[in-house]
Chains A and B, each alone.
Chain A
Amino acid sequence: QITCNLPHKDCASNNCVPSELFAARSRSHKIPVRGQKDFFPNDSDEQRQRLEQSLNEHWSLTSEERVERLGNLVKAVWIPSDQIVELQSPAGKFWQTMGFSANGKQYLLPEEALYLMECGNVQVFYRDLPLSIQDGYERFLSSATVTLQQYQVFGHLKRLGYVVHRFDPSSEPSSYARQLNLPQSRDRAGRQLKRKRSPSPTYTKRLNSFCFFCSYTEAQVESTIEKMEEDKCSLEGDDAKKLAASPDIQTATTSGADEGRSWWMTDDLGASDKELHHSPTSGSSRWDFSSIPFPDVGSSERHPSCLAPPEPSLLPGDLTVGVCDIASWRRKINLRMVKMSSKEQKREKDTRRRRWDVNKDREVRRCRNWAEYHELLARRQRKRKGRPAHLWNREVTPLHDPKQPISTGELLDKISVIKSTHLLEGASRLKGSEQWRICFNVYQPDTVADFKKSNPGKPYSRMCVCSFDGPVPDLRAIKLLAFQSGDIPVVFAVVDHGDISFYTFKDFQLPTDVFP
């Protein structure tokens, strides 16, 4: 058994001398088994001896340093500006489940690199000097990459053999896409490297990041639509003049009003404060509509008479589109000011003066057509007069006519006051929370042999990392996470210093005692 122990001049830093390094080749890989514990301390020699032995064994194991053959180590370099580790010699077996390629090079995410450093597989350099494990922890872990607690969970699962990847909410198919059974083309998305000064984006893959990525969840789409309708109403009421409005991306259009900017350019909106790093590649399933401004050809603002061609990556296949002259289209749009009669003008004024806007009414919005709207008005009318429909519209009858046959199940349903619900009800309307986020996708160890990073398949579970110091997830958090996760169970990894406990919530149906 070799240890790098005192006395030695370098032992403060625990540096092994070359002879120790050489001898470490034949180091044992077994861990001593821990014996039975005692119940109560007495002052016996026996106990003291056992304690000393346990402590010595403990220090001996803890003091050991990692010693590896140089040829077995993959060399890598830490790039702090991108918070990424770039491999400089070919990757080993770990490449099957970790890392990603971009720009013709191989990269590792910081947590993956740190884990591989701890396993003694990778040696990471920074400024030509090797980083210690301590350097790795202090440089790689932060709230911008992966926190210490998240790394603890990551390491714990990796050591057990699971495949663990960062969770990217935007690359999860929406429930609608899943319903349609759309084929999922998923590269193992990597996080986008900072743009160099090149004007045309040639990056081949989007990189994983749960901080910098601007994604569009269903909830966001809904809220954008709501905002659009509000905007519509706040404009002047003349429908003939109103055209399909551009989505609410005021910041984009204002910064886009700069000369030369065209709607399909998805460059950094350097002027805006929002971080919208996004380069859609053809085949990507998500466009960031907040950074793709659509032209409002019909607006009365001055507009160039020509639209430059759209960016090829936004177009399907080999389609090429040239410059578009919109002058003829503008002529076809009726841009004449409408002259209103005095009565019409007065009506306009009254409408504007009235605060209450029918379109802001939630129940009105739920009406899908005029018939439903009339029904709603009628209902309200009756309620206002204290006449609920089931009492006033027809003869009052018992909830169920005893002469009519009905199954027990249906009857129970009729008399039930509280209807049962399921976890995902209302979940799509919840807005995301800073506090509760899914961190990782976890794939089972026995899938490792066939695992493909480009098509990992469905994860076994998704991890949300929290601690006993923080709050217990409430129903809102559980709904939100279950919705984000789709049909994969969400597991809460609760970190308590060195210890991790895993909890999951399962949907449960109360059994109904019904005999048909």
Chain B
Amino acid sequence: MEDSPSMDDHQDSSLVVGVGLCDSAPLLWRLQDLKTARRLGLVGALLGSLPRTPRQNQRLGRPLLLLPEEEQLLRDEEAAGALPGPNQDVGGAELRRQFEEDQQRSFEEQSVLALEDRKSALRSESGAEAVDEALCGRLEALDHSFSFPQSAMAVQLSTARAGLSYCPEARAHLQASWPIREQNNPRSDARYQVFRDLRGRGFYLTSAGKFGGDFLVYPGDPLRFHAHFIAVCLTLDESICLLDVLAVARLGSNVKKTVLLCSPVPDGGVCYTSLQWSGMV
């Protein structure tokens, strides 16, 4: 959370990412949080419609959904906290009053801007630099007759919830109550170990269900680079059917990515095996 209003992007790492829970999925709503996560190398996935052009699926907008591994990493680094839920700061009379005041003020300011806008349109219509009498007359008439209808007022439909979450006091809320939603099974442990290791080596990871694997591994930010690897995470003592190995190897070669079989080893590291399709020798 910001310490001061005039914050720039080169931040110290004491920023805490506020995570909202929706149907038990961890979502990031605030732009600062998305930036912080990205700076930590966590890509996530945007789920919402893009405000500028909502009716397309090429580029989506906030919220950002975190992978369970990303959420866990933030938690382990103590870089995330839970945002208060929807019912916690349901407006009292104070917030309602504030809202109405803000709306009224906005309306007045916009009226002024609209009048100015109309005036400058008139001025540019008349073309010449010279301000003649007729123009002055029209401008004055405008002052008297102009009305800005309520329906023309521009209104913001906020993406993230504003309010109490930005008070300093609420920062305490953030760290305290983190819902424990760990899945304690060996497979998800393996996934997390692999995720940590690869992230620590500077790779960026996203999910790879479509590619038959656990993660897609990028050498740099996915905005600029293609993925090089498909990571399949297995525990050391898990046995894997040869047909599955063949299937994932075939898939990898079809999409021109190298398949990595990844297993955490007892000493805390991860063992990687890449698959390469070669012919009969």
Question: Which residues of the partner chain A approach B25 to less than 8 Å between Cβ atoms?
Answer: 148
Within 8 A of A (CB), among B34-83: 34-35, 38, 44-63, 65, 67
Q: What CA separation (Å) do A69 and B154 show in the bound complex?
A: 4
Beta-carbon nearest neighbor of B25 in chain A: A148
Decide if B225 touches A39 in the complex (CB within 8 Å).
yes
CB A50 to nearest CB in B, in angstroms, measures 6
Would B58 and A31 count as touching, CB distance under 8 A? yes
> Which chain B residue lies CB-closest to A40?
B219
Closest to B56 in A: A159
Residues from chain B with a CB closer than 8 A to the CB of A28 are 52
- Nearest neighbor of B166 in chain A, beta-carbon distance: A12
Within 8 Å of chain B (Cβ to Cβ): is A134? yes
Q: Which residues of A contact B172 (CB under 8 A)?
A: none
Q: Of A57-65, A174-182, A288-296, A381-389, which binds chain B?
A: A57-65
Please, which residues of chain A bring their CB within 8 A of the CB of B157?
65-68, 73, 117, 120, 123, 130, 132-133
| Minimum Cβ distance to chain A for residue B267 (Å) | 29
Q: Which of A16-24, A183-191, A327-335, A338-346 contacts B (4 or more CB under 8 A)?
A: A16-24
Enumerate chain A residues within 8 angstroms of B99, measured Cβ to Cβ.
128-130
Output the nearest chain B residue to A115 by Cβ-Cβ distance.
Answer: B49
Q: Does B224 contact A (CB under 8 A)?
A: yes
- Pick the contact of B95 from A16, A129, A132, A141 — CB < 8 Å? A129
Contact check, B224 vs A50: say whether CB atoms are below 8 A apart: yes
Query: Among the listed stretches B106-114, B245-253, B270-278, which one makes contact with chain A, having 4 or more residues with CB under 8 Å of it?
Result: B106-114
User: For the complex, what is the distance from the CA of A24 to the CA of B61, rounded to whole Å?
Assistant: 18
A70 touches B151 (CB 8 A): yes
Q: Does B180 contact A (CB under 8 A)?
A: no
Interchain CB contact under 8 A, A58 and B50: no
The secondary-structure label for the interface of chain A is mixed
Over the window 18-49 of chain A, the binary record of Cβ atoms lying under 8 Å from chain B Cβ atoms (1 yes, 0 no) is: 11011011011111000001111100000100
Q: A22-B114, A51-B223 are in contact. Are A143 and B155 (CB under 8 A)?
A: no
CB distance from B114 to the nearest CB of A (A): 7
B residues less than 8 Å from A497 (CB atoms): 45, 65, 67, 206-207, 209
User: Which of A10, A29, A61, A467 has the most chain B CB atoms inside 10 A of its CB?
Assistant: A61
Residue of A nearest to B9 (CB): A6
| A138 CB contact (under 8 Å) in B32, B85, B152, B156 | B85
For A16, the chain B residues whose CB sits under 8 A away are 156
A436 within 8 A of B: no
Interface size on B, residues (CB 8 A): 82
Chain A neighbourhood of B150, CB < 8 A:
70-71
Determine the residue in chain B with the shortest Cβ distance to A33: B58
User: At the interface, yes or no: B160 with Cβ under 8 Å from chain A?
Assistant: yes
Q: Does A494 contact B (CB under 8 A)?
A: yes
Residue contact B23 to A141, C-beta cutoff 8 Å: yes
Complex Cα distance, B6 from A19, in Å, reads 20
B280: chain A residues within 8 A (beta carbon): none
> Contact mask A91-117 → B, CB, 8 Å, 1/0?
000000000000000000000000101
- Within B1-53, the residues touching A (CB, 8 Å) are 1-2, 5-8, 20-23, 25, 27, 29-32, 34-35, 38, 44-53
Q: Is the Cβ of B91 less than 8 Å from the Cβ of A51? A: no
Do A7 and B6 have beta carbons less than 8 Å apart? yes
Beta-carbon contact of A18 and B109 below 8 Å: yes
Chain A residues contacting B241 (CB-CB under 8 Å) are: none
Q: Does B162 contact A (CB under 8 A)?
A: yes
The minimal Cβ–Cβ distance linking A96 to chain B, given in whole angstroms, is 16
Return the chain B residue nearest A147 by Cβ. B23
With CB as the reference atom, state the residue of chain A lying closest to B27.
A137
**A61 CA to B50 CA in the complex, in Å?**
8
Asked if A14 and B35 sit within 8 Å, CB to CB, the answer is: no
Q: Give chain A residues whose Cβ lies under 8 Å from the Cβ of B32.
A: 12
CB distance from B205 to the nearest CB of A (A): 11
Instruction: Choose one: B22, B65, B113, B163; the contact of A13 (CB below 8 Å).
Output: B163
Which partner residue on chain A sits nearest B95 by CB separation?
Answer: A129
Chain A contacts of B155 at CB under 8 A?
Answer: 21, 67-70, 73, 123
In the complex, chain A residues whose CB is within 8 Å of the CB of B85: 138
Contact of B22 among A38, A50, A73, A141 (CB under 8 A): A141
Please, which residues of chain A bring their CB within 8 A of the CB of B63?
133-134, 137
Which residues on B are within 8 Å of A, measured CB to CB?
1-2, 5-8, 20-23, 25, 27, 29-32, 34-35, 38, 44-63, 65, 67, 85-86, 90-91, 95-96, 99, 105-106, 109-110, 113-114, 149-163, 166, 206-210, 219-221, 223-226
Show 17 A/B contacts (Cβ-Cβ < 8 Å), sorted by A.
Answer: A6-B6, A18-B106, A29-B53, A31-B56, A51-B220, A59-B31, A63-B31, A68-B154, A69-B154, A69-B155, A129-B96, A130-B99, A132-B161, A133-B62, A134-B20, A497-B206, A499-B45
Q: Which residues of A contact B (CB under 8 A)?
A: 6-16, 18-19, 21-22, 24-25, 27-31, 37-41, 47, 50-51, 54-55, 58-59, 61-71, 73, 115, 117-120, 123, 126-130, 132-135, 137-139, 141-143, 147-148, 152, 155-156, 159-161, 467-468, 494, 496-499, 501
Known: A13-B162, A21-B110. 13 other contacts (CB 8 A): A51-B223, A61-B52, A64-B51, A69-B152, A119-B49, A130-B158, A132-B162, A137-B22, A141-B22, A143-B23, A159-B49, A160-B57, A496-B209
